Structure 1
Amino acid sequence: MSKILFFIIVTPIIDLYILIKASQNMGFWTTILLIIATGIAGYYLARSEGKVVISSINRQLSQGNIPSDDLLTGLCIIIGGVFLVVPGIVTDIIGITMIFPGTREFYKNYIKRILQNKIRRGNASLFLKW
C-alpha cells in the first residue's frame, strides 16, 4: 500500500476521532465554530502568502530565471490551503505548517528529495501508478 493511500485512509479517521473528543469537551457549536474559523483563517493566510509567491515568480520570470524554488513554495501553499479547508485538527495542523514560511521548508525539502530520487531512478513521472 502506498504512503499516500495510507495517509488518505488514516487521516480522516484520526480527524474524526479528535473532532468527536473536542466536541465532547468543548461543546458541539464551539467545535463547529473552530472548524469554520480555521477554514476562513487558512483561506486568507494562503491567499496572502500566495500573492507574495506569485509576485516572486513573476519577478524571476521577468529576469529570465526559472523559479523552481518559488514553484515548490506555491505548491506547498496550495496543498496547505486545501488541508485548511478540509475539516479536521490534523489536516489543519498540516495545512498551517505548509503555509507558514518557517515550517514550509520541511515540506519543500521533502518534495525535493522525492523528486531527486525519482530522477535518479529514471522515473521522473509525477503521476501515481495504480
Structure 2
Amino acid sequence: MPFLLLLALFVVVPILEIYVIIQVGQAIGALWTIALLIADSILGSLLMKSQGRAAWRRFQTALAEGRMPAREVLDGVLVIFGGAFLLTPGFCSDIVGALLLLPPTRAVIRRIVARRFTFGLVGDVPSPRVRSARPRGAGGPGTPRNPAGGGFDVEGTATEIDPRRLP
C-alpha cells in the first residue's frame, strides 16, 4: 500500500498537473497560464498568512483558557499543508490547497482527519498491558488492601534529581 501511495504521489500527480497546465495553456494561452499560476501562488500565500495567524490566535486562546488545543493544532497543520499546496505550481494542487485553507471546507476536512486518526486510539479496547495491570489492593490473590481504605498501596523507589545538573 505505501508503494502505491508513493507511486501516485510522485508519478501520477505530477503528470496530472502537467496535463491540466497544458490544457489551460491551450485554452487561454501560455502567458495567461503562467500569470494565473503566479497570481494564485501570491493569493495563496496571503490566504495562508491570514489563516495561519487566525489559527495561531485560536491556539493561544485555548492555552490561555487551560484547555487542550487539539482542534487548533490540527487547524494549524492543515493551514501549513494548504499553503504548501498553493505555493506548488499546478492547478490541481491549488484546488487542494484552497480547500485546506478556506475555513468551511477545512472544518469538514478536519473532522474527517480527526476521525481517521483517532479511531483505534481512544475509547477502544485497551492494550494487553493496561488490561493485565492491576494496582495493589484491586482484589485478587496476593494483593493486600490498604488498611486505611484510601487508595492503593504502591511499591517503588524514588531518586531525587538536582535540577541544576540537568542538561
1:33 aligns with 2:35: yes
User: CA 1:39/1:121 → structure 2, altered by over 3 Å: closer, same or farther?
Assistant: farther
Matches within 5 A, 1:85-104: 85-104=87-106
Q: Which has the higher helix share?
A: 1
The code of the aligned residue for 2:102 comes to F
Counting aligned pairs with the same residue, the percent is 31
Post-superposition offset of 1:118: 5.1
Residue aligning to 1:22: 24
Residue aligning to 1:73: 75
The code of the aligned residue for 1:57 comes to F
TM-score between the two structures when normalised by the length of structure 2: 0.67
Residue aligning to 1:125: none
Query: What runs of 5+ residues in structure 1 fail to find an aligned partner?
Result: 123-130
Distance 1:86 1:68 in 2: 27
Distance 1:7 1:54 in 2: 32
Distance 2:71 2:106 in 1: 12
User: CA 1:43/1:118 → structure 2, altered by over 3 Å: closer, same or farther?
Assistant: farther
Identify the match of residue 58 of structure 2 among 56, 59, 75: 56
**Number of equivalences:** 122
Tell me, what secondary structure is at the counterpart of 1:73? helix
1:45 aligns with 2:47: yes
Post-superposition offset of 1:106: 2.4
Tell me, what secondary structure is at the counterpart of 2:68? coil
Larger radius of gyration, structure 1 or 2?
2
The code of the aligned residue for 2:29 comes to G
User: CA 1:104/1:7 → structure 2, altered by over 3 Å: closer, same or farther?
Assistant: farther
Distance 2:5 2:112 in 1: 14
RMSD: 1.8
User: CA 1:41/1:105 → structure 2, altered by over 3 Å: closer, same or farther?
Assistant: same
1:12 aligns with 2:14: yes
